[in-house]
Structure 1
Amino acid sequence: MKRGIDTLIPLLVDQLSPGLSALRTADPATSVILMMEVEEEATYVRHHKKKIAFLFAAMRHHAQALRDAGWQVDYVRLDDPDNSGSLTGELARAVERHQPARIIATEAGEWRVRHAMEHWADKFDVSVEIREDDRFIASHAEFDAWADGRKQLRMEFFYREMRRKTGLLLTERGEPEGGQWNFDKENRKPAARDLTMPHPLSFAADDLTQEVIALVADRFADHPGTLDGFDFAVTAADAERQRAHFLRYALPQFGDYQDAMLTDVPFLWHSLLSPYINCGLLDPLDLCRRVEASYRAGHTPLNAAEGFIRQIIGWREYVRGIYWREGPDYTSRNFLDARRPLPAFYWTGQTDMHCMAQAIGQTLQNAYAHHIQRLMVTGNFALLIGADPADVQRWYLEVYADAYEWVEAPNVLGMSQFGDGGLLGSKPYASSGAYIDRMSDYCGHCRYDVKARTGPKACPFNALYWDFLVRNREKLGSNQRLAMPFRNWDRMDADTQRALRAQAKAFLAGLDEG
């Protein structure tokens, strides 16, 4: 075969980083970067319209930034009439166009795409090199070395290793700042409406982004969510502006109120940076170092800095390690044998449960909800009703702009739905309405009474919580962290137990009837 260019470099949608490993040794004069908008990636689940628009717009702007930096970029738009619709199909067309001597790529973030990439060497008469994604702090080998021989893979201990590796929030003697590794107990305050809250920056859509929005509106009209009010940052510069805004105005109180929820206040003190981190527009370690610098400058309390850093170098790195270590069958696990389909209101937000309507409504509007809304409202409800974890994780993958399978599956299947039987979490994150009432003002706006366990106005979470424990007792009864709830159940009189089970049964029957 007659050779053309030296190197063809395919970039994936979550690889929008100028320092990507595939680019590091390539010569811009003899290389071509291939970027592809393909139907297959936009529709393998029904992604939120704003998620697709954000990623396509970010891709197009990143392509222009690469050109400005001297790279040759071959960009395939979704509406190209010759677009094959798949990553491998578009790579085949690019190989034909450019006749490269070799292909260099950075590894995919999901098993589905990794499997496709593993066959590229067989499909094309060129050398294929797949490089590790070193934008993460822990390599696959490092995580496996930490995990090997451990009976329990608890995030807290892995997080301490990441703190030691990075040096973040350590004293000169290598001890944790403040004398402890974790300040989570200080980060559980409910928020009051008289507090002055910052608001994240909003970015107007330029002409290039407007083209993408129109394309998504036309091609993905049946996908969940809305495009109204699209205001994502779609360039690295604007993502950095959002980062600077968060560090100055929101981070100082992020720690205290990171678990709080308020009606019609979707953002509170949260950063809204995870979509930019996960697609590559922001460097996670650089972000953490800036958070640390804010603490050392006296601008940010330690509990806020530590809580934010823990989410990035602790939890984010940990779930990635779990995802790759456990293998592609991880997403099919269903320890509790939960089979109920998700209720239709997960796609509409139309329910009398105010907490659910708030969390789902914000999700459909913004492609965003913060971690407690995801874990303790929508996730908790799905767990209590016995929703199929495969359906639950598919929903989370669809509706959130920061969702990729490597981060979504362990969070949802493992932590939220206990589908892995306790690999991630030491107990199911199941709760009655009391937790939501404590951390939010939702219950005061709801037609249900959070204090009532039975009757027509009883909060559904209450009876569902006890029903969940009882129907799963064979699998959960030996869990030491659930010993007290089971003792409390056993102390109830038989009439109370029957009433709670009947209340839950009637509610679940109503769900099943639609």
Structure 2
Amino acid sequence: MTATLRHLVLVLGDQLNSDASAFDGFDPTQDAVWMAEVQEESTHVWSSKPRTVMFLAAMRHFALALRRLGRPLHYRWLDDPDNQGSLAGELRAAIARLQPQRLIMTAPGDWRVLQALRAVAAEADLPLELRDDRHFFSTVREFAAHAQSRGSLRLEYFYRELRQKHGVLMEPDGRRPLGGQWNFDAENREAFGAAGPGFLPARSQFPPDALTREVIALVQRQLPDHPGQLDSFAWPVTREQALQALGEFLSERLPLFGRYQDAMWPEEPWLYHSHLAAALNLKLLNPREVVAAAEAEYRAGRAPLACVEGFIRQILGWREYVRGVYWTQMPGYLEHNSLQAKQDLPAWYWTGETEMVCLSAALRQTLDHGYAHHIQRLMVTGLFSLLYGVAPAQIHAWYLAVYVDAVEWVELPNTLGMSQFIDGGLLASKPYIASGKYIQRMSSGSYCRRCPYDPAERLGERACPFTTLYWDFLIRHEALLAANPRMVMQVRNATRLSAEERTAIQQQAAALRQPKPRAGTP
């Protein structure tokens, strides 16, 4: 390397792809790569141990891969005595030490991080070149143009545009969808039945190697009070492992993914889901290869169209959609609170210590593995928070903290828009609310049989808190919900309640919201 450093290429913990746009034109004789592990990324929210280990282990393995590629690398370890504790502080120190002529990076996925790095570059009077993230099927500019042309945002239309543009699950003419329809939800989303799921394929597991074991020990030492367990940590932290996990999902779980994607069962966290979100969000996998591989399974006759379409819609559709919403709405998206939610997050969200069996199971699973599937997030932990009225900033921080796949561009719109409906209907067309009977149905009663509460009851000692809070939610937000065509039937049911019953429901809901000690929270 020459005495003068031409380009310092900045790589973040969720940019672990060696073919990223930041590396275009990279010259190892005059350029170098910068990466840094910093405490702030685990403390700006109370990041769980599995989430922190996932990021740090993947970063350290990627650093080895970069060195094998012959790319000069300046890497700061979390426990380095000179570590500045923040990305901004570490970049400032690297600039002073290395004196680069230019900073280059693929556009970050996190608004907060982008603002911090821009500020450091401006302070140093250095150009910061941001390059498009080729990891995605669309650019933020393309999403913004779509949103402007539509007037209102809906996933279905954006998804169809991307299907046509990229030729995914399309007839040879490129205009008609395979199977004659765009969406196969009606053929998916069954419960398991009273007998349960029966035989289930094993989760893809990758026992920690020496490098990951070092990270686990580091996190236990540096962040001992953070939530979560590491005994079962077995996530893919390299590209090779991620590709293996993809292959195992395609062959072992994709054929039944759609059918059971909304089903729940106690002590069965993995079911038929892909468990690939973390690998995708850290860019160990490219969504194009995932989508192409899933489509190939259908065309080879190994997976039904309904399952494949449902899976592809999560990646080509929803994932792209929420990214567009995030970047076109930030930073103001964080300020939305159309439902005026203001309750503190219950302390037991950090421990799982609640008598509600479905909630306890989802929370304990989350803390044990850093994982829960989308219905557990939307219709168990998220549903309770929505009905309870948790302040948006608190529930956002919880979701960002606890899941190994959590990065803000995907977590924030999913939480505040889809789950909590506090953006005024920008992301979703209706609030996803239900009583405890929805959970009973999608778990075939397996949780409710063990629970002291009855999902059919909304009043009294045995009333399910989900059910009580569901009716209270309809009463509290009756005027707002009545204007939503998709909520007419639910609101009509609430209007049929007598004045006495409405008052009793509101009183019981208020008792459920009585503040409890917040021991165990950060």
TM-score above 0.5:
yes
For the pair 1:355 / 2:353, whether they are aligned, the reply is: no
1:479-498 matches, cutoff 5 A: 479-498=484-503
The residue number in structure 2 matching 1:91 is: 91
- Are 2:388 and 1:385 equivalent residues in the alignment? yes
Query: How many angstroms apart in 2 are the aligned matches of 1:274 and 1:48?
Result: 17
Report the secondary structure of 2:35's partner residue.
strand
Distance 1:356 1:194 in 2: 20
* Preserved contact between residue 3 and residue 100 of structure 1 (Cα < 8 Å): no
- Are 1:104 and 2:104 an aligned pair? yes
For 1:475, the equivalent position in structure 2 comes to 480
- Identify the residue that residue 67 of structure 2 maps to in structure 1: 67
1:499 aligns to 2:504 (yes or no): yes
Q: CA deviation at 1:125?
A: 4.6
What are the within-5 Å matches in structure 2 for residues 20-169 of structure 1? 20-169=20-169
Greater shift in the superposed pair: 168-177 or 113-122: 113-122
- Structure 2 residue aligned with 1:291: 294
| More divergent stretch after superposition (123-132 vs 182-191) | 123-132
Q: Which moved more, 1:67-76 or 1:359-368?
A: 67-76
| Higher deviation after alignment, 307-316 or 447-456 | 447-456
* CA distance in structure 2 between the aligned counterparts of 1:167 and 1:513, rounded to whole angstroms: 51
Any residues of structure 2 matched to 1:214-229 within 5 Å, and which?
214-229=217-232
2:447 equivalent among 421, 442, 446: 442
* Distance in 2 of aligned mates of 1:195 and 1:297: 27
Q: Is the 8 A contact 2:481 2:488 kept in 1?
A: no
Letter in 1 for 2:101: A
Instruction: Encode CA deviations 1:28-71: one digit per residue, 9 max, x unaligned.
Output: 23221111001122211111101101110110000101111111
Quote the Cα distance in structure 2 between the aligned partners of 1:494 and 1:474: 16
Q: Is the 8 A contact 1:336 1:475 kept in 2?
A: no
1:401 is the counterpart of 2:404: yes
Match of residue 195, structure 1, among 198, 205, 211: 198
- Give 3-state SS (helix, strand or coil) of 1:318's partner: helix
1:421-460 alignment, distance < 5 Å: 421-440=424-443, 441-460=446-465
* Residue range with higher mean Cα deviation, 449-458 or 300-309: 449-458
For residue 376 of structure 2, the aligned residue among 373, 376, 383 is 373
8 Å CA contact 1:3, 1:101 repeated in 2 = no
CA distance in structure 1 between the aligned counterparts of 2:305 and 2:279, rounded to whole angstroms: 24
Q: Compared with structure 1, are the counterparts of its residues 418 and 381 closer, same or farther at alpha carbon in structure 2 (3 Å cutoff)? A: same
Give 3-state SS (helix, strand or coil) of 2:150's partner: coil
* CA distance in 2: counterparts of 1:64 and 1:266, whole angstroms: 32
Partner of 1:148: helix, strand, or coil? helix
Contact residue 120 and residue 128 of structure 1 kept, 8 A? no
8 Å contact from structure 2 (residues 143, 324) kept in 1: yes
Q: Is the 8 A contact 1:354 1:443 kept in 2?
A: yes
Distance 2:238 2:280 in 1: 12
Matching residue of 2:11: 11
The 2-side partners of 1:38 and 1:511 are apart by 33
Is 1:463 the counterpart of 2:464? The answer is no
Question: Is 2:303 aligned against 1:300?
Answer: yes
**Partners of 1:3 and 1:99 within 8 A in 2:** no
| Partners of 1:314 and 1:456 in 2: CA distance | 43
Partner Cα separation in structure 2 for residue 23 and residue 459 of structure 1:
54
In structure 2, how many angstroms separate the alpha carbons of the residues matched to 1:101 and 1:512? 53
Pick aligned residue for 1:331 from 329, 334, 337: 334
Q: TM-score, normalised by structure 2?
A: 0.95
In structure 2, how many angstroms separate the alpha carbons of the residues matched to 1:220 and 1:513?
A: 20
Counterpart of 1:408, as a letter, is E
The worse-fitting range, judged by mean Cα deviation, of 343-352 and 193-202 is 193-202
Structure 2 Cα separation of the partners of residues 461 and 225 of structure 1: 25
CA distance in 1, matches of 2:516, 2:14: 37
Q: 1:61 to 1:221 in 2, by over 3 A?
A: same
**Alpha-carbon distance between aligned partners in 1 of 2:256 and 2:149, rounded to the nearest angstrom:** 39
Contact 1:334-1:389 within 8 A present in 2 as well: yes
Please tell me whether the aligned partners of residues 92 and 120 of structure 2 are also in contact (alpha carbons under 8 angstroms): no
| Corresponding residue SS for 1:356 | helix
2:253 maps to which of 250, 253, 259: 250
CA separation in 2, counterparts of 1:188 and 1:125? 54
1:106/1:131 contact within 8 Å kept: yes
| Preserved CA contact (<8 Å) 2:475 2:502 | no
Distance in 2 of aligned mates of 1:274 and 1:467: 34
State the TM-score, normalizing by the size of structure 1: 0.97
User: Which consecutive residues of structure 1, in runs of 5 or more, have no partner in the other structure?
Assistant: none
Displacement, 1:95?
2.4
Residues in 2 aligned to 1:240 and 1:54: alpha-carbon distance in whole angstroms: 16
| C-alpha separation in 2, matches of 1:108 and 1:181 | 32
- The residue that corresponds to 2:235 in the other structure is 232
5 Å-filtered alignment, 1:163-182, equals: 163-174=163-174, 175-182=176-183
The answer to whether the Cα contact below 8 Å between 2:346 and 2:518 also exists between their aligned partners in 1 is no
Separation in structure 1 between the aligned mates of residue 32 and residue 172 of structure 2, nearest angstrom: 46
Letter in 2 for 1:9: V
Letter in structure 1 aligned against 2:390 = A
Q: Distance in 2 between matches of 1:350 and 1:34?
A: 42
Name the CA distance, whole Å, in 2 between partners of 1:315 and 1:445: 34
Distance 1:93 1:508 in 2: 47
Q: Which amino acid in the other structure matches residue 317 of structure 1?
A: E
Identity %: 50
Query: 1:36–1:90: 8 Å Cα contact kept in structure 2?
Result: yes
Helix, strand or coil at the partner of 2:244: helix
Instruction: Give distance in 2, aligned partners of 1:227 and 1:374.
Output: 21
* Contact 1:469–1:486 (8 Å) recurs in 2: yes
Deviation at 1:506, TM superposition (A): 2.6
Q: Give 1:501 shift.
A: 2.7
Offset, 1:507: 2.2
Question: Matched residues in 2 for 1:413 and 1:264: separation?
Answer: 28
Which structure 2 segments of 5+ residues have no match?
none
- SS state at 2:51 partner: helix
Q: Which moved more, 1:199-208 or 1:378-387?
A: 199-208
Structure 1 range deviating more: 176-185 or 478-487: 478-487
Q: Could you tell me which amino acid in structure 2 is paired with residue 496 of structure 1?
A: E
Separation in 2, partners of 1:310, 1:470: 34
In structure 1, the residue matched to 2:187 is 186
Residues 285-326 of structure 1 deviation map (CA, whole Å, 9 limit, x = unaligned): 110000000010000111110001000010000000000111
Amino acid at match of 1:186: E
| Structure 1 range deviating more: 357-366 or 67-76 | 67-76
* Count of residue correspondences: 513
Partner amino acid for 1:247? L
